[in-house]
Structure 1
């Protein structure tokens, strides 16, 4: 099968979040796709099969350890690959996924993803969280992931979590740490050791939580966000009722073949 790696939420190679994209004629066995994702050892590998209707595709995402129900950067990477290398010139893509139908529109060099919101609900601050992240939270919230609000952008940037302790955290698939930004609206970092990814460089799906959260706090629907991992990435965000629009750029790193 053809295999691509696209760096998502950036227009430069070696930045953003690298997504593996496997283009299939038909579905493989689940265990085979899981082995491929483990072999690729990226935070997510996307598997895409062309649908019966024009511009429609079936899409699934795997971390090195498990299949997940929503992934932003690998959806962006898949859209970039389809539009530039598979169905060249396509500017609208409809993906059938575990999270329902996801629509992506290409607007020049930006790929605008339409995702469901996952507004987090306020929860008690876990007793162990200070030991895990080394920073005292202001508040914590929960949806799929535990969302931790801290005081400053610098605290987010300088985090050095204890991943062995984070693995024992009983709530959330992952941990999102966020704060108001200085030159953007808000910043974050995202950690998923339970899924085999200690830190995800840029996490589109996390912004299904962060966009409605920060929209209320900042009283604005359109925002720019940065993820402050070592690679870094920029996301253009908009709240649209019970949906969010997350836009970003992508850059091709490699094209190859997987032989199994």
Structure 2
């Protein structure tokens, strides 16, 4: 059985920036164990599998796998999947609807950007953090700790986020995925995202984290439209909007390569 794989840099304006994702279009689902092995083989933070839908409620089903586990929501691989659908799968509608474990995700193409409509997951103050959290983040000073799906740790400023030297072994031992964030110098807020519990020490640009960051900073800054920068080595810009119980995340993608792989039927 021969399948096609696309490799796309998401939240990127130029090649070798943003967050790389693999996208595998399907007409029928592969075995879950096979999809996990393919994600491990790709060794990217996420491999997205999109399968054509056989109903009128949505266009595709989508699933995301890290090298180690399946996850319930992923932003950058959804952005990359939409890029592939819009540009390579002869899709002629102005909006894509993906059915996922986190509900229906709608994606449009507007003003030169791909815009994703995602759930808004506002984090609450968290009073029971791991005892070694500060050590896990290199001894850095912490201004506040919040939690939704992940731990969100507020730091003093952009330099603190940029200069954080995490201990990934200690982060893994906490059992949490961790977002660190602070106000930005030239953007509204900056962040980094650490997920060694999912096989990804530091994710380059993380849409899922922004489902939590956008409502957090929208409330703190009293703004609904924000620009965010993820301060990984590759870096990436996310254009954000808070809309009630949803958030809009928008960005660009850059095509890297298209290939084929063969697996047994």
* TM-score, scaled relative to structure 2: 0.95
Q: Secondary structure at the match of 2:262?
A: coil
Classify the secondary structure of the residue corresponding to 1:230: coil
Runs of 4+ in 1 over 6 A off after TM superposition: none
Partners of 1:252 and 1:57 lie apart in 2 by 21
1:145-164 counterparts in 2 under 5 A? 145-164=150-169
Deviation at 1:228, TM superposition (A): 0.2
The C-alpha deviation readout for 1:38-58, integer Å capped at 9, x for no partner, is: 000000000001112577101
* Cα displacement (A) at 1:108: 4.1
Displacement of 1:109 after TM fit? 2.6
Aligned positions, number: 258
Q: Which residue of 2 aligns with 1:70?
A: 73
CA deviations over 1:68-97 (Å, ceiling 9, x no partner)? 000000000000001000125543100000
Counterpart in the other structure of 1:169: 174
Aligned pair partner of 1:126 in 123, 127, 130: 130
Q: Is 1:103–2:106 an aligned residue pair?
A: yes
Q: Distance in 2 between matches of 1:246 and 1:39?
A: 29
Partner of 2:248: 245
Q: Deviations over 1:185-233 (max 9, x none)?
A: 0000000000000000000010010000000100000000000000000
1:173-212 alignment runs, 5 A limit:
174-212=177-215
SS of 1:167's equivalent?
helix
Q: For the residues of structure 2 that align with 1:21 and 1:91, how far apart are their CA atoms? A: 20
Give the conservation status (yes or no) of the 8 Å contact 1:91–1:107. Answer: no
Which of 131, 136, 141 is the aligned partner of 2:141? Answer: 136
Q: What SS does the aligned partner of 2:227 have?
A: strand
Q: Distance in 2 between matches of 1:127 and 1:24?
A: 44
Q: Per-residue CA shift, 1:89-138, capped at 9, x if unaligned? A: 54310000000000000114311000001111111243211111121210
Distance 1:196 1:176 in 2: 15
User: Is the CA contact 1:208–1:244 (under 8 Å) kept in the aligned structure 2?
Assistant: yes
